[in-house]
Amino acid sequence: MPSEKKRALVVIQLAGANDALNTIVPYTNGLYYDFRPHISIPADDVLTINDELGFNPNLAPIKALWDLGKVAIINGIGYPNPDRSHFRSMDIWHTAEPAAVGKEGWLGQVIRELDPNGDNVLTGVNFGRGLPRSLALRGVPVASVGNLATYGLFPEVDDTARKQNVLEAFGKMYGSDMKDEVLTFLGQNGRDALHGADILRTAPEQYTSTVAYPNSPIATNLKSVAQVMFAELGTQVYYTTYGSFDTHGGELIAHTNLWQEVSGAVSAFYQDLEEHGWENDATVLIWTEFGRRIRDNGTGTDHGSGGSAFVIGGAVHGGLYGEYPSLKPEDQLEGDLHFNNDFRSTYSTLVERWFGLEPAPIVHGHFEQFDFLTA
Amino acid sequence: MSQQDMALMAHLLRRAGFGATRQELEGYLARGYEATVEALLHPGDAQSIPDDVIRRYHTDMAEMRELYSVAAYWMYRMVTTRCPLEEKLALFWHGLFATGYSKLNQARSLLNQIEMFRRQALGPLPEFLLELSKDPAMIIWLDNNDNHKGAINENYGRELLELFSMGIGNYTEDDVKECARAFTGWTLGNAEYMATRASKDSIWPYSRIAWHFDYRDYDHDDTEKTFLGETGNFNGEDIIKIIAKQAATARFISTRLFQFFAADEVDADGEQVIESMRQTYFDSGYETRAVLRTLFNSDYFKSDKARFARVKGPIELVVGAVRMAGSYQRPTFGVDQLARQSFYMGQGLLQPPSVEGWHEGAEWIDSGALVERVNFVSKEMGNVMNPGVRSIIDRLAAESGGRLTSEALVDRCLDLIGPLELADTTREILVEFANKQGDVNLEGHQPGDDAEQKVGDLLRLMTATREFQLV
């Protein structure tokens, strides 16, 4: 199969609502310490960005990428009338529809625009079970891979000879068109599934790398992304979810672990990109469904709004984007950080400036774009 | 009892329930078709194990405020019920009066709604619509708590007409507004607090509190309204009475029932059946039980036209496979996994993507969902230790002294898991596969031995066919 190096977007969803205030810390702002007597990050521990903001120390590997100019931080990201329900807010981000219950995943639409004829069943690949709503669009096939090494049909049949026979029979059974439209349609899907699994299975076999990924589920998934990416199967949209970031309690411990894992994974992934010459062809978006309350609840934080997103990659113009929301009570939105840029601006930037597609139909409107991409 | 009778009974149970094992079918056949239809239409005691016992063993089903607890609880009911039509209908109404967890953040209210669906499922439609209009989950879902005298919110009023009873094109925008006005004041106790809590998804400080219907007469628009050509000081009950007697309602409800129970596509013959269902709707005083009786006893339903004329929805597939494999008969951990599996396949229980419910038929299928579907059933039916699979193996062993040629094995298995109809080409490939495995000798078979394994692999493949994706 001819190799296809096409630029790719890697989307990491931090599920459960990451606490922006403890991720990008306003370490010189007295209000931060006033509102968070129990869970603030000490100013001395912060990895400074400038004389107002700094990284939570557990993001050290990402700070290293920041120092190389590869990290764009979009502060104050959100949407009008923030919803503090996990499911609802996630749906809003997935479908780019804050005002109504949306039906089409934005990434599903991106995949359709990238591959209108559906020539490549692997244009979009999700690492995780089930299909995230971002990717869901009628007629757009997306492989959802729980475990790349064992992905495919009949994974519990471990005897190679038996499996061979079973897969062969499956392929034949789905091989022909039939008089009935629905059965023919099923046949096509079965062939696509088998084909996709056959191709994906070759990716780990071809992979060589000196990069040692940490031992965490997010790192494993990003390594799988790398394996598929370097096999040049034509995949352009990768997706994976990690969590839960829903730190209502015990935040300092949980948040520390989570970010150590995410940063370690992202750093290893970036190194792998560089080793294989992919760093300018892959861009990572890290998003979460909302930020958390400014005031802590004793050991953690409750749902809030207005968070931070990250865009990381060789083609990224590193820096701070959006405004860091004010903590002053008069500037807050019902006790939360007031968003100042719509997430659809970030989406539009990626859709148009990364993929060269028309963003308006995908995000249902025109939104001012950022300059966080150099390419 | 002929092969045709068996096939017809299997078809009825696949549609009016989630399928039936050979043993169950033999029981139904002894009663006869019409009697079975009546028994299905009069669900009695559904549970072989009482609720409190289930929850004692299944602590994962006891947390009724949590989505997957309630989803697991309902899944378990579907898997173990002795009254399959009751659950199948609850699923049907759940897809039609689609209410989703994402906006409610409180699974108990959804569970209450499903229990109301069970109570109303077969009864008169106006009674059902009245309960629906008072259902707190529905009120929050479609914002009727924001529907005030002098400041209406049209959401419930519109969807009631468009998606729940009459269908688009059968009423005007003015009717929508008048409908909304009639439902002003239909809200829940402490609505503002409850709605805010739902949207903030917060359990602080008092955790989740149960919702109940509350009628605020001071917030109700108590003036004259004109709705579908009638005029009067209508309240919600009056609107529902008017809706119920519309021809459009009869057509809409009959069509949706037809598409769910008879065939995804409606052709000319189907239209005729729907016509007779509509007639029954009026003759019976709008009773769903009567309408379904007309459908199940119709020539169309019994004919080849209706056979395998629907694509199985993910929940049908999961529950059907588990009932056939007999793997969850006793309280076992992992039932929430069943709910997650159907979610991975594209149908999350209690999580319809919008008030429009799910897009059914061929839209259930994409290559990703197909992998999940095939793998799930394969795991259940390829496991020779599952009770239902052992039943099949035991029946095979009792025939022809346990020695079966490939052809016989394929045909007997197709019969026992269905009967399942396959295209000739598909069947030939299965015979070829069985030939490759070698003849099966089940004489003196031991659990998990080679002969049994061969049967398991054949069942695995058989339920992976595209024909098996149909119901």
Instruction: Using a CB–CB cutoff of 8 Å, tell me whether A303 touches chain B.
Output: yes
Asked if the Cβ–Cβ distance from A141 to B430 is below 8 Å, we say no
| CA A115/CA A6 separation, integer angstroms | 12
**Whether the predicted pLDDT of A280 surpasses 80:** yes
**Whether the predicted pLDDT of A1 surpasses 60:** no
Give the 3-state secondary structure of residue A25.
strand
Residue A192's pLDDT is 87
Angle at A148 between CA A143 and CA A153, to 5 degrees: 65
| CA B183/CA B146 separation, integer angstroms | 11
**Whether the predicted pLDDT of B208 surpasses 90:** no
Point out the residue among A86, A130, A190 whose CB comes nearest to the CB of B370. Answer: A190
Angle at A237 between CA A233 and CA A243, to 5 degrees: 120
A335: left (phi > 0), else alpha (psi -120 to 50), else beta? left
What percentage of residues in chain B have a pLDDT greater than 90?
81
User: Could you report the per-residue pLDDT of B294-304, keeping only the tens digit for each?
Assistant: 999 999 999 99
Mutation target to probe the A interface, by most A beta carbons within 10 A, among B367, B450, B454, B463 is B367
Angle at B13 between CA B10 and CA B17, to 5 degrees: 150
pTM: 0.88
| CA B23/CA B20 separation, integer angstroms | 8
Confidence category of residue B458, pLDDT binned at 50, 70, 90: very high
| CA A322/CA A77 separation, integer angstroms | 7
User: Could you report the per-residue pLDDT of B42-60, keeping only the tens digit for each?
Assistant: 999 887 778 788 778 888 8
Could you count the other beta carbons within 10 Å of the beta carbon of residue A247?
24
Residue B206's pLDDT is 64
Point out the residue among A86, A166, A193 whose CB comes nearest to the CB of B460. Answer: A166
**Whether the predicted pLDDT of A2 surpasses 70:** no
User: Could you report the per-residue pLDDT of B141-154, keeping only the tens digit for each?
Assistant: 999 999 999 999 99
Asked if the Cβ–Cβ distance from B366 to A153 is below 8 Å, we say no
| CA B319/CA B41 separation, integer angstroms | 20
Residue B334's pLDDT is 82
In angstroms, what separates the C-alpha of A206 from chain B's closest C-alpha?
24
Selection from B216, B252, B227, B242 nearest residue B97 by Cα:
B252
Residue B446's pLDDT is 94
Residue A375's pLDDT is 60
Which helix H or strand E contains A161, and what residues bound it?
helix A160-173
What are the Cα distances from residue B31, in Å, to B13, B39, B88, B444?
A: 14, 10, 21, 35
Q: Is the dihedral of CA B146, B149, B151, B152 positive or negative?
A: positive
In angstroms, what separates the C-alpha of B314 from chain A's closest C-alpha?
12
- Residues 6 or more apart from A110 whose CB is under 8 A from it? A9, A237, A351, A355, A357, A362
| CA A323/CA A338 separation, integer angstroms | 10
Angle at B415 between CA B440 and CA B328, to 5 degrees: 90
User: Could you report the per-residue pLDDT of B401-447, keeping only the tens digit for each?
Assistant: 889 999 999 999 999 998 999 999 999 999 999 999 988 999 999 99
- Residues 6 or more apart from B329 whose CB is under 8 A from it? B80, B387
Instruction: Using a CB–CB cutoff of 8 Å, tell me whether A277 touches chain B.
Output: no
Confidence category of residue B248, pLDDT binned at 50, 70, 90: very high
User: Could you report the per-residue pLDDT of B256-294, keeping only the tens digit for each?
Assistant: 999 999 999 999 999 999 999 999 999 999 999 999 999
Mean pLDDT (chain A, rounded): 93
Q: Which CATH architecture has domain A8-147+214-363?
A: 3-Layer(aba) Sandwich (3.40)
Contacts of A201 in chain B (CB under 8 A): none
Q: What is the DSSP letter of A148?
A: G
Asked if the Cβ–Cβ distance from B464 to A153 is below 8 Å, we say yes
- Token pair in block for residue B174: 């003015």
**Whether the predicted pLDDT of B464 surpasses 50:** yes
**Whether the predicted pLDDT of A47 surpasses 70:** yes
Asked if the Cβ–Cβ distance from B368 to A141 is below 8 Å, we say yes
User: Could you report the per-residue pLDDT of A115-170, keeping only the tens digit for each?
Assistant: 999 889 899 999 998 788 899 887 788 888 988 988 899 999 988 899 999 999 99
Which helix H or strand E contains A192, and what residues bound it?
helix A181-206
Contacts of A333 in chain B (CB under 8 A): none
Residue of B nearest to A186 (CA): B466
Asked if the Cβ–Cβ distance from A153 to B374 is below 8 Å, we say yes
ipTM for the predicted complex: 0.91
Reduce the secondary structure of chain B to three states and give it as a string. Answer: CCHHHHHHHHHHHHHHCCCCCHHHHHHHHHHCHHHHHHHHHCCCCCCCCCHHHHHHHCHHHCCCCCHHHHHHHHHHHHHHCCCHHHHHHHHHHHHHCCCCHHHHCCHHHHHHHHHHHHHHCCCEHHHHHHHHHHCHHHHHHCCHHHCECCECCCHHHHHHHHCCCCCCCCCCHHHHHHHHHHCCCEEECCHHHHHHHHHHCCCCCCCCCCCCEEECHHHCCCCCEEECCEEECCCHHHHHHHHHCCHHHHHHHHHHHHHHHCCCCCCHHHHHHHHHHHHHHHHCCCEHHHHHHHHHCCHHHHCHHHCCCCECCHHHHHHHHHHHHCCCCCCCCCHHHHHHHHHHCCCCCCCCCCCCCCCCHHHHCCHHHHHHHHHHHHHHHCCCCCHHHHHHHHHHHHCHHHEECHHHHHHHHHHHCCCCCCCHHHHHHHHHHHHHHCCEECCCCCCCCHHHHHHHHHHHHHCCCCHHHEC
Residue B207's pLDDT is 65
Could you count the other beta carbons within 10 Å of the beta carbon of residue B411?
16
Selection from B181, B187, B177 nearest residue B234 by Cα:
B181
Residue B402's pLDDT is 85
| CA B427/CA B246 separation, integer angstroms | 48
Q: What number of C-beta contacts closer than 8 Å exist between A and B? A: 145
Asked if the Cβ–Cβ distance from A189 to B198 is below 8 Å, we say no
Q: What is the mean pLDDT of residues B233-237?
A: 97
Q: What is the mean pLDDT of residues A27-53?
A: 96
Residue of A nearest to B463 (CA): A170
**Whether the predicted pLDDT of A285 surpasses 60:** yes
Question: What's the first-to-final CA gap in chain B, in angstroms?
Answer: 22
Confidence category of residue B204, pLDDT binned at 50, 70, 90: low
Confidence category of residue A299, pLDDT binned at 50, 70, 90: confident
**B211 residue type, one letter:** W
How do beta strands A54-55 and A47-48 pair?
antiparallel
Asked if the Cβ–Cβ distance from A183 to B430 is below 8 Å, we say no
Contacts of B347 in chain A (CB under 8 A): none
- Taking a contact as any Cβ pair under 8 Å apart, which residues of chain A between 75 and 134 contact chain B? 83-88, 91, 101, 103, 121, 129-131, 133
Instruction: Using a CB–CB cutoff of 8 Å, tell me whether A165 touches chain B.
Output: yes
Q: What is the DSSP letter of A124?
A: E
Instruction: Using a CB–CB cutoff of 8 Å, tell me whether A192 touches chain B.
Output: yes
**Whether the predicted pLDDT of A195 surpasses 50:** yes
| CA A146/CA A266 separation, integer angstroms | 19
Q: What is the mean pLDDT of residues A214-232?
A: 96
Q: What is the DSSP letter of A195?
A: H
DSSP characters for A226-280? HHHHHTTB---EEEEEEE----SSSHHHHHHHHHHHHHHHHHHHHHHHHHTT-TT
How do beta strands A341-342 and B213-215 pair?
unpaired
Residue A150's pLDDT is 84
What percentage of residues in chain A have a pLDDT greater than 90?
75
User: Could you report the per-residue pLDDT of A323-362, keeping only the tens digit for each?
Assistant: 999 999 999 998 899 999 999 999 999 999 999 999 999 9
Angle at A305 between CA A33 and CA A24, to 5 degrees: 45
Q: Where are the domains of chain A?
A: 8-147+214-363
Asked if the Cβ–Cβ distance from A131 to B359 is below 8 Å, we say no
Point out the residue among A85, A138, A196 whose CB comes nearest to the CB of B367. Answer: A196
Strands (E), chain A: 8-15, 24-25, 47-48, 54-55, 71-78, 124-127, 143-145, 237-243, 282-288, 307-313, 319-321, 341-342
How do beta strands A124-127 and A143-145 pair?
parallel
- Token pair in block for residue B146: 């924001």
